[in-house]
Structure 1
Amino acid sequence: MKHTAQHTAVDVAIIGAGPAGAVAAALLRKSGRSVLVLERQHFPRFSIGESLLPQSMAYLEEAGMLQAVIEAGFQYKNGAQFVYRGQSSSFDFRDKHTAGWGTTYQVERAVFDEILIRCAAEQGADVRFGHTVQAVHTGEGTDAAPRVDVIDEAGHAYQVEARFIFDASGFGRVLPRLLNLEAPTRMPTRAALFSHVYDGLPPGVHDRNKICVATHPERRDVWFWMIPLAGGRSSVGCVAESSFLDVPATEREPKLRALIQKEPTFNRLIGDAPFLLPVRHIGGYSANVERLHGPGYALLGNAGEFLDPVFSSGVTIALRSAHLAVQTLNRQLDGEQVDWSANYDVPLRKGIDTFRAFVERWYTGELQDIIFYPDQTPSIRRMISAVLAGYAWDESNPYVADPVRRLNALHEVCTQR
């Protein structure tokens, strides 16, 4: 993947080599497009978002990446367990309303992301690490093609002409910053403290095939994750409104330790397990834009909108966006008149809005009332399970077709005692 910096012309320039960029690159190569991926960092690099959803497996398969992911030895995942004050409710994603994958993996993202971009490179994508995008010219109002100004680590500047640009830069949000596309997010400002531990749990003590999400025993808007990884490690973290986790860097480790020990299940499983990484902090991650496309460009994954980590929707939305954007762009490059709003923005946001309805009701406690309700109807439970498994675009599911009204009505049923 070594290249000499020079003027380059390609069908599609992709900013960012994370999952959205890698899958988009591979899908475009399968369609015979020339692709250049520009990534300012070097891989492997740490990233959060380690628990995949089964719905994303179809896109990995379509992009020719599934075998490499399966053979990597990641921790198998088949569902989610929720705990609160001694109550437990588990969902098996194989038992769901929507057809499709019911299993997936819990991954160390440094390894996972490198596998995906390597697969894209093997399929012919030109991938350049350590290359930073400095400016973007969309060509709007002129006959000029979109253009990207790039600089490499040696200080060599060059330009890339492309027929189209995908921004898959994740939280870097390159185009929203350069083109002033940012919009207010509807989500409150939250933050997370997180690390990895060696949990050392003997077989049978805990179901490693499920992410565990625990609610703080005294504050229902504060929650924890435990994501078992391969090799006896687990990713652990706490999410809350930013002010709750606003401590100096030197106090992050004792703060996270005290929070973990406050939650009975986590305290029992990993209360004293040593942190394997410095405790990290991420905040203000919820983001939004006025639109997910413009003349000569489209925003993929977190570069467009990110909701919240609670249901691990980030990678699924990223891969769904790559799939939809490539489908739409291929038609455009083949000479069709394409309505990006109708074919990309609106359908992508449909699933995002489904997840949003679930996320908002998680923090009010309404979804928690539903999840821990003792007399769950099997058919409704399978509908909820399908959304938690990532199938947030299947409108045969009433909780996708009309999530706000359906969840509100279900909550009323669950609280009438």
Structure 2
Amino acid sequence: MTVSSTKETVYDVAILGSGLAGSMLGAVLARNGVRVALVDAGQHPKFAIGESTIPYTLVALRTIAERYDVPEIKTLATFTNCTKVIGPSFGIKKNFGFLVHHEGKKQDPKEVNMFGTPGLLHEASHLYRQDTDAYLFATAVKYGCTPLQNTRVDDVEFDDDGVTVHAGDTRIRARYVVDASGFRSPIADKFDLRENPSRLKHHSRSLWNHMIGVPRTDDLFDTAPQDTPPTPWYSGTVHHMFERGWFWVIGFDNHRNSRNPLCSVGLTLDERRYPKVPGESPAEEFKRYAAKYPDIERQYAGAKAMREWVSTDRLQYSSKQTIGDRWCLLAHAAGFIDPLFSRGLSNTAESINALSWRLIDAVKDGDFSAERFEYIDRLQQGLLDYNDALVNAAFISFADYDLWTAVFRIWAWGSNAGTFRLQSAITKFFEDHDDQHFKDIEEADALGLYWPDHAGFKKLFDEMVTQLDAVDAGTTTPRAAADTLYTMLVEADYVPDHFGFADRTRRFLSPSRKTLLKTARWALTKADPDVRSLMLSNGRQAIKYKLRGQRIF
């Protein structure tokens, strides 16, 4: 569709990029009366990665669906609804699995970790992105977005009255523009917004593909019962880790009802330690690194690539600012860290949740100034900075299993406490439908940290970063750093007993019903007040959902 200057439609918002972020935002805005042009250089269906969900993502998606009355978004919040509504192309995610490898050696079953979410949270999935993104795009169009696919943006001009998007012969006039187009952001280019060099500490590059015939991870090992995880490795997201790098295995074929034979595979590694070899193809490079680790090599043995390999240079980039007068960089247009810990989708959903109500209000009163959206910049910069600190610490820890387990536990509890915090707002919203509950949790001292308003956890997180930086600099040992972090975990009254978060010998954190009951008793009698409130209020809600045959997330 071409919007000509002689018959011009003025949109409230032009969104550049119709992937998951752009289409979700477009659906929310259009559903709430905003005139939206959804512009994309390509067309659906199209390949994308960022497939692994986490509990925080699920709650954030449900929050957006309920808050803005877009029930289609809630479909993505559970594995069951993904498969029923969109199709049987999705994988299930029952756990986060981590296996440490050493060059030339078989994998040691004592050097593994798994975090299995409690039964009520087992609705996470591996999103088959070409299907989810096309579904959200169709939802956006259904609610009134004007689709302009195969429309490559050449320039964006700003004036006192609005924005003009130029795409060849197409001219799109709008009052505001959201750039959700990713790394090659036209707005970032126009205003020279990329930090050069980036402030981000972490370094990695990546290779990825979809393959068929990937062996199930559990078939690689003949482990003793005490070394066997409570749920199969392949029923979740598999992370094969080595010093300063990791391979991923994200199966879409990991349950009996799947009709998708594909598996998402990838390799991410520190480009400073592992530079590219001139003339080596991405497929050759992937095979060469896998061959260094016997069991990783077996993980991909016989698998066949289904498309051209993608190979990047350094993944990390950041922006000096992500908002301005009449524009916003959203999600991966603002910056990117690394796929470790599956945080990309949750960060995107969190940003959309905060941006949407501000844009809806701006359309009503005509104020599109940067000041109105200042919070969005602080949020997105914080999400980048804290994820950068976490992933950088994790990469340093990969060389020492004991130290890695401390980072693993701090991440696991912080991300779940943050999930409880967000869920508490939606629980209150269900009771009175007052949008203020969501606004009340926006401001926090550590904006961007998964648990942003708890001073004790922030102190623990900051100490983790300090200790790992010291290990990297050679001013402390991995053992000393791990001892410091475990001492803090043991002494903390905001880290649940019984789960195993403070037990450095426990490899598998997968709570049974008995463990959950003991943890509830701990929350009643020993937990700090903030944790008591979070855990007990969400526990009561979970029981209500269970009685209705539903799940809380």
TM-score (norm 1): 0.84
- Partner of residue 154, structure 1: none
Cα distance change of structure 1 residues 288 and 150 upon mapping to structure 2, 3 Å threshold: same
- Partner of residue 288, structure 1: 318
Q: Is the 8 A contact 1:91 1:385 kept in 2?
A: no
What SS class does the counterpart of residue 153 from structure 2 fall into? strand
Q: Is the 8 A contact 1:10 1:34 kept in 2?
A: yes
Q: Does 2:158 align with 1:146? A: no
Q: Is the 8 A contact 1:370 1:410 kept in 2?
A: no
What SS class does the counterpart of residue 147 from structure 2 fall into? strand
* Residue deviations 1:56-106 (CA, integer Å, cap 9, x gap): 2344441432337343321111331111132110112348xxxx9664221
What SS class does the counterpart of residue 76 from structure 1 fall into? strand
Residue type of the partner of 1:198?
A: I
Residue type of the partner of 1:18?
A: G
- Structure whose CA Rg is larger: 2
Residue type of the partner of 1:120?
A: A
Alignment of 1:153-192 (within 5 A): 157-184=169-196, 185=198, 186-192=200-206
Which shifted more, 306-315 or 80-89? Answer: 306-315
- Partner of residue 394, structure 1: 451
- Unpaired segments ≥5 residues, structure 1: 152-156
Q: Provide the C-alpha distance between the structure 1 equivalents of 2:195 and 2:466, rounded to a whole number of angstroms.
A: 31
Cα distance change of structure 1 residues 324 and 27 upon mapping to structure 2, 3 Å threshold: same
* Residue deviations 1:3-35 (CA, integer Å, cap 9, x gap): 244233111100000111011101101211011
Q: Does 2:82 align with 1:69? A: yes
Cα distance change of structure 1 residues 276 and 166 upon mapping to structure 2, 3 Å threshold: same
Q: Is the 8 A contact 1:78 1:94 kept in 2?
A: no
Q: Provide the C-alpha distance between the structure 1 equivalents of 2:217 and 2:393, rounded to a whole number of angstroms.
A: 34
Q: Is the 8 A contact 2:322 2:377 kept in 1?
A: yes
- Partner of residue 462, structure 2: 405
**How far did 1:403 drift?**
6.1
Residue type of the partner of 1:195?
A: N
**How far did 1:232 drift?**
4.1
**How far did 1:295 drift?**
0.5
Q: Is the 8 A contact 1:399 1:406 kept in 2?
A: no
* Residue deviations 1:186-216 (CA, integer Å, cap 9, x gap): 2455321222232454696443231111222
Q: Provide the C-alpha distance between the structure 2 equivalents of 1:327 and 1:4, rounded to a whole number of angstroms.
A: 29
* Residue deviations 1:236-293 (CA, integer Å, cap 9, x gap): 2111233625135653222211222323442333333233333321223311111110
- Partner of residue 17, structure 1: 18
Q: Does 2:273 align with 1:257? A: no
Given candidates 383, 389, 394, the residue that maps to 1:351 is 383
Which shifted more, 286-295 or 363-372? Answer: 363-372
Q: Provide the C-alpha distance between the structure 2 equivalents of 1:384 and 1:316, rounded to a whole number of angstroms.
A: 11
- Unpaired segments ≥5 residues, structure 2: 76-80, 102-107, 220-231, 254-259, 423-448, 469-479, 487-553
Percentage of identical aligned residues:
19
Residue type of the partner of 1:241?
A: D
Q: Is the 8 A contact 1:168 1:299 kept in 2?
A: yes
Q: Is the 8 A contact 1:27 1:323 kept in 2?
A: no
Q: Is the 8 A contact 1:261 1:271 kept in 2?
A: no
Q: Is the 8 A contact 1:398 1:406 kept in 2?
A: no
Q: Does 2:92 align with 1:91? A: no
TM-score (norm 2): 0.65
- Partner of residue 119, structure 1: 139
Given candidates 371, 375, 383, the residue that maps to 2:414 is 383
Residue type of the partner of 2:175?
A: R
Structure with greater proportional helix content: 2
Given candidates 234, 258, 276, the residue that maps to 1:246 is 276
Q: Aligned residue pairs: how many? A: 398
Q: Provide the C-alpha distance between the structure 2 equivalents of 1:58 and 1:111, rounded to a whole number of angstroms.
A: 21
Structure with greater proportional strand content: 1
